Homo-oligomer: A and B are copies of this chain.
Amino acid sequence: MTQQNDHQAGRRKFLIGMGSAGLAAMTVPILTSAARGAQKIWDHEHEVVIIGSGFAGLAAAIEAKRQGAKDVVVFEKMPVFGGNSAVNGGLYAAPKTPLQKKEGVKDSPEQMISDQMISGRGVADQELLLHVAKHAREALQLTIDAGAEYLPYLQQLGGHSVPRTYQTTVACGAGIVQPLVKESRKLGVQLINRSKFENLIFDDSGRVVGVAILQGYYFGHDQPGKLINVRAKRGVIIATGGFAQNIGLRQAQDPTLTAEVGCTNPKGATGEALLEMFQQGAVPVHLAYIQSGPWASPDEGGFGYVSNYSIYNFPHSAAINCRTGQRFMNEIADRKTRADAELACRDAEGKPLPPILITSYKHAKKHPNCKKVLRYGVGWKFESLKAIAKKFNIPLKALEKQVKQYNDYVRTGKDEQFGKIMEKAKGKYLEAPFTVVRLWPKVHYCQGGVKVNVQAEVINATTWKPIPGLLAAGEVTGGIHGVSRLGSCSIPECMVMGMTAARTIMKG
């Protein structure tokens, strides 16, 4: 590194003293080291400061406590804790788990990341993936120890070569977030809501030593709030999630993702901390890769009830193009493959014509969401294919022929149309009565973010060294999954990298 690079890496930081006095008035002098002692700089002081209260933030908080931190604080900008994690699918993939042992599934971290590398189209970060896969079981145990409850059987999600996915009994990420919040509090972590991260504060060596926080923040309201400076004695962990709800930023990457396109994330997923890290020299990675969930329904908002219903049912269901009456994809291909196939389902004028997912009711009803899907009118029960064809204006003969053909694949175990693995469909013929939901992709997950190493340290784009005192974990980081993330691989990533960040900070 040249002297010049030193200048670049260290310059223009939001230095100590600026936060309290200088935000509005940019002309206030930066305090010199000598002068600093004379002025009150910090409103609060903590050992570990965590921004964001989803899986990654909570895992970091709990692990920091376990590693001996006396004073850990989590700031959350929204009124409720949990962020996008609280409304996600609650699906957790891990190799070599007790359930895999019980079900006789052979698996390994290497096999899991091999599936992920394929879905990532060759540009995933193999080192990070392996780190997560190797620690996924341990992090799963942390959630169980905290009180999370899972269904007693595994699922095999699209793109996974074996069943390795746990599902919370409540079919939602809240089934993990709530126990983690409780456990955090039990351990003495301070959780503070309505507190928006504004910016990092550096000392003059270029180390992150604190954050500016806007207290009394009401999301979506135009109010000044109260700005405080919070010292982070060991460092700051950014765990603020993705930017799927930042319409400008997502549309800059993909002009088709307008405000009208559905999104599974809560409104708060707007990525301000991500942008702040870019402004402090973090490496932008893979922002262009934004994943749409192929299991979502156009008939409800957000993640809704249908998503987990269809994730569970895809292996033994047929997805049908309403215009042709035929299947149009492998129902358990990776997310991008399926989302692209669904988006291609159009009427004669090229307008969206959401395809349907047909499942035998006797199998569909085994998923806890089936009742809700029917009750809230985002899915329907039918006594015959004829009734389905009538409701969705599908050519009946083509549909009947397709279902007969599909049942042949169930019998032979070989899908000759799209090469779907039929193992999980064994014996599960499509038979009346049926349940049906409509499918249309929703913006779900941002593969992009800041670059981190396997210690969860944020890398500087000029020096390629970690930014001292700054760590990040979860969806706010980028590059690990590549072009397309496999389902149920986000929670293990968030949990493991959150724990990793805590371990790094406690060692440092």
Contact = CB atoms under 8 A, between A and B. Distances in A.
Contact of A252 (B223, B254, B285): B285
A265 B401 CA distance: 56
A222 B2 CA distance: 6
A249 interface: yes
B11 A11 contact: no
A280 interface: yes
Nearest to A448: B288
A479 interface: yes
B284 A199 contact: no
B26 A204 contact: yes
Interface stretch (A12-20, A130-138, A308-316): A12-20
Q: How many copies does the complex hold?
A: 2
Nearest to A278: B278
Nearest to A36: B27
Interface in A235-294: 248-249, 252-256, 272, 275, 278-281, 283-289
Contacts of A7: 23-24, 198
A26 B222 CA distance: 34
A377 interface: no
A126 B275 CA distance: 25
A23 to B, nearest CB: 5
A479 B285 contact: no
A198 B126 CA distance: 34
Contacts of A275: 281, 461-462
A27 B23 contact: no
B12 A451 contact: no
Contacts of A222: 2-3
Interface in A25-78: 26-33
B27 A204 contact: yes
Given A4-B214, A224-B4, A255-B123, A11 B10 contact: no
6 contacts: A30-B30, A123-B254, A252-B451, A284-B284, A285-B287, A288-B289
